[in-house]
Amino acid sequence: MAVFVLDKRKKPLMPCSEKRARLLLERGRAVVHRIRPFVIRLKDRIGGETQPLRLKMDPGGKTTGLALVREKEIMAEDESRHVAIVLMLMELTHRGETIHKALKQRKEHRRSRRGKLRYRAPRYANRTLPAGWLPPSLRHRVETTMTWVERIRRWAPVQDLSQEVVRFDTQAMENPEIRGIEYQKGPLASYEVREYLLEKWGRRCAYCDKEDVPLEIDHIQPRSLGGSDRVSNLTLACVPCNQKKGNRDARDFLADDPRRLARIEVRRKASLRGAAAVNSTRWALWQRLAGTGLPVESASGGRTKWNRERFGIPKSHCHDAACVGHVDAVFGWQRPVLRIKAVGRGRYQRTTLTRYGFPRAYKTREKRLFGFQTGDIVQADVPAGKNKGSYLGRVTVRANGIFKLYTREKKMEYLKHEYCRLVQRGNGYDYAIDHPADANHSAYLPS
């Protein structure tokens, strides 16, 4: 994974390799500016030559993929090829569902109080919403993405942005004036339904869970037995399962497998909340990106998928981000992935309740205890006991000085604050690094 580099005045320079960063730190030419992501600051350099970098984004309902790439034009077979060299891969996990549940709980509490207190005036639903308003759970996706765009711009010389905005629409390409019911009669008459089913059923057979095989659309309740063509009555089946099921109802076909039948019933009622969230926020994010003053390249999901398949790159949010837009080759995509998870900055509620709503414990008014705060990244050196060793993780503070420590491998319930050393203040995000099976990717980088 590349390391961000700043000069003496905290201006971004070109990222360097981990080995070079280690040498700079050992020789005293640099100091650690930040741990997650790892950023160093040079002590003996002001300014320097930089190359323009591009930050690519693949927005998702729960996770947004980010890829920092260096673009290069190379000549191959008497033609110029646009190459993207991946410097860093990141995946940002949002907490929109948590925000949605918290707002729903607040709504229920307010509704309960309004019914108990007669003097509480009712709230009227006649207030207008500003243009471009988004619910807090959706606005969070845009805000967190923009937060990391601005952070990466402070640490790297980003000059261009790319975002996957829309899926391709072949009918609109051929006939820009197409409207309304004409969509249902064109070449996309069954394509949109098939894409919806592939997304809903996980691109696998509903009856045997086979993947990477030809799938057919199957009626859960056959039309001959009163079934309809509604999307809720459709599923995906491989050719052998579809032929074996024949003209039977899914309940008869899976009479000996009630667990699979129950999973199918649950899945057929599931909604595509993630897709709806992306559709609601993609243009709001694009407008915010355009407001940065940098050139923004918008690309379709169809082109991203085409690029990824022809390059042989596995499916993931960060790899999709690397394949966004116009690119003829992608190098260095086997780099480790920095996973960033939005966990929030705590809550205002100072009372811990039971599931029945009664107080169970009371939290202190001061969030920072013994110099630490919940969410801080600390280095814990335990001298003795069953947990003897050195650990790096996020801490949860207690007033008695006995903390909790969460690492990627384990959870420590009892840790004295004297053993902890602050590494980085908590900023509402949790970090983890996933290394690929083959970490030796240097041979794939062109000079």
8-13 mean pLDDT: 93
**pLDDT of 420:** 93
Q: 10 Å Cβ neighbour count for 316?
A: 18
Q: Cβ distance 377 to 424 under 8 Å?
A: yes
Report in angstroms the alpha-carbon separations of 384 from 388, 408, 415, 416: 5, 21, 11, 12
Q: What average pLDDT is seen over the chain?
A: 84
**pLDDT digits over 41-64, tens only?**
999 889 888 899 999 999 988 899
CA distance 333 to 316: 11
Find the angle CA(10)-CA(12)-CA(16) to the nearest 5 degrees.
115
144 pLDDT tier (thresholds 50, 70, 90): very high
* CA-wise closest residue to 254 among 212, 189, 207: 207
pLDDT at residue 221 tops 90 = no
**Pairing mode, if any, of strands 158-166 and 53-58?**
parallel
Place of tokens 């500016």: 33
Beta 377-382 vs 402-406: how paired, if at all? Answer: unpaired
- The domains located in the chain, with CATH, are 1-50 (no CATH), 186-268 (1.10.30), 365-426 (2.30.30)
How much is the pLDDT for 199? 77
Question: Quick check: 302 and 168 in contact, CB under 8 A?
Answer: yes
- CA distances to 14, 96, 139, 140, 275 from 136, rounded to whole Å, are 36, 8, 5, 6, 17
Residue 435 vs residue 104, higher pLDDT: 104
Q: Which amino acid is at 194?
A: R
Q: What is the pLDDT of residue 446?
A: 35
Distance in angstroms (rounded) separating the CA atoms of residues 182 and 153: 45
Residues whose CB is less than 8 angstroms from the CB of residue 195 and which lie 6 or more positions away in sequence, other chains included: 167
With residue 173 as reference, give the H or E element that holds it: helix 170-174
114 membership: H or E segment, kind and range: helix 96-116
Give percent of the chain above pLDDT 90: 35
Encode pLDDT of 275-285 as tens digits: 778 878 888 99
What number is the average pLDDT over the span 151-160?
94
pTM of the model: 0.76
Largest CA distance in the chain: 81
Contacts (Cβ under 8 Å, ≥6 apart) of 352: 359, 360, 361, 362, 363
Rounded-to-integer distance, Cα 48 and Cα 44, Å: 12
**pLDDT score for 176:** 62
**Beta strands at 53-58 and 296-300: parallel, antiparallel or unpaired:** unpaired
pLDDT of residue 309: 87
Confidence of residue 19 (pLDDT cuts 50, 70, 90): very high
* pLDDT confidence of residue 444: 32
Local structure of 268: helix, strand or coil: helix
**Which tokens go with 260?**
């699979």
Position 437 scores a pLDDT of 58
The pLDDT of residue 67: 95
